[in-house]
Amino acid sequence: MAGRKQLQTRADLLFHIRRFFRSQGFLEVETPIRIPAPIPEAHIDAVPSLDWYLHTSPESCMKRLLSQGYEKIFQICRVFRAEELGARHLPEFTMLEWYRTGADYNQLMTDCENLLAFCLESMPDKDPLVYQGKRIDASSPWRRESVSDAFRKYAGASIEKALETDRFDEIMAFEVEPALGLDPVFLYDYPIEKAALARPKPEDPNLAERFELYIGGMELANAFSELVDPVVQAERFKKEEEERVQAGKKPYPSNEKFLHALETMPPSAGIALGVDRLAMLFAGAADIAQISAFTPEEL
């Protein structure tokens, strides 16, 4: 359970996040928490809610808003993921997501730099950012490192071998991520097999325009230049569902309305950022429980 000081830091951070996006001309939206068809992901499980599900992300609904003509939107909401519990994970947590039309993942990198600078300027007692007794240099521009370069530097296997042996995520978690350091770094251009909902890189279709942001040694955000091809996205969903079934998991209903919305969705970029982990950085907390009013065990 968090103390008053930690909860105050969290509250201040949420206040200034909203100030930042309003200053940038974004519209704050709220979309339903209960949805009939989650986006299928092999390693993320949605929590059932009667005959529907609690969303693992507001992504599908927010992209449907983009397809209806909204250009710059953001949302701060609770999301739910089954069986996620640890020092950096809770089964219910707070997500910040924002989306821009007419932009790609490069713009989102700039957004991340500007958002953190705004929050630090608005919370001068947190500037410079010190996490677990170590100072973090958050000055822009932040380091950018391709996934292929990171594997060459830090991993004991090539990307090709990691994908072939289904060890990509394991090597990322236990070899690459611990070597990235504390200062902010964008790990970008994932192999297309790990594209999720990101579009292929135009100059190299074997890569996806996706990045993850790491600060203080923690994965903080996951971003895409969005895929807007419903046929390709449906093929990716099918592959994810096949992996889920092979793992003994129940397949989700098909999200036809989301796929249909992609037909009219303009080129866009979107990102999901974990507010709890950002609050951990600002509060100097080693455990997510230290910035949460209650954890499941305390209930």
Residue 61 lies in a domain: yes
Beta carbons of 189 and 210 less than 8 angstroms apart: yes
Closest by Cα among 288, 195, 189 to 235: 195
Within 10 angstroms of residue 183's Cβ, the number of other Cβ atoms is 18
Distances (CA, A) of 174 to 72, 117, 137, 159, 170: 36, 29, 24, 14, 6
Residue 109 lies in a domain: yes
Domain count, the chain: 1
Closest by Cα among 82, 62, 86, 84 to 73: 62
State how far the Cα of 279 lies from the Cα of 177, in Å rounded to an integer.
20
Beta carbons of 197 and 227 less than 8 angstroms apart: yes
Within 10 angstroms of residue 115's Cβ, the number of other Cβ atoms is 20
Q: From first to last of its 299 residues, what are the pLDDT tens digits of the chain?
A: 678 999 999 999 999 999 999 999 999 999 999 999 999 998 899 999 999 999 999 999 999 999 999 999 999 999 999 987 788 889 999 999 999 999 999 999 999 999 999 999 999 888 889 998 999 999 999 999 999 999 999 998 899 999 999 999 999 999 999 999 999 999 999 999 999 999 999 999 999 999 999 999 999 999 999 999 999 999 999 999 999 999 999 899 999 999 999 999 999 999 999 999 999 999 999 999 999 999 888 88
Residue 192 lies in a domain: yes
- Strand, helix or coil at 261? helix
State how far the Cα of 281 lies from the Cα of 291, in Å rounded to an integer.
10
Residue 282 lies in a domain: yes
Q: What is the CATH number of the domain that holds 232?
A: 3.30.930.10
Residue 149 lies in a domain: no
- Domain region containing 121: 4-142+183-298
E strands along 197-260, which residues? Answer: 200-201, 204-215, 218-225
- Residues 241-250: b if buried by 16+ CB within 10 A, e if exposed: beebeeeeee
Residue 165 lies in a domain: no
- Strand, helix or coil at 157? coil
Query: DSSP letter at 6?
Result: H
Strands 204-215, 218-225: pairing is antiparallel
Residue 256 lies in a domain: yes
* pLDDT computed for residue 215 by the predictor: 97
Residue 32 lies in a domain: yes
For the record, the structure tokens of 161 come out as 């071998």
* pLDDT computed for residue 269 by the predictor: 98
Q: Which residue has the tokens 């950085």?
A: 281
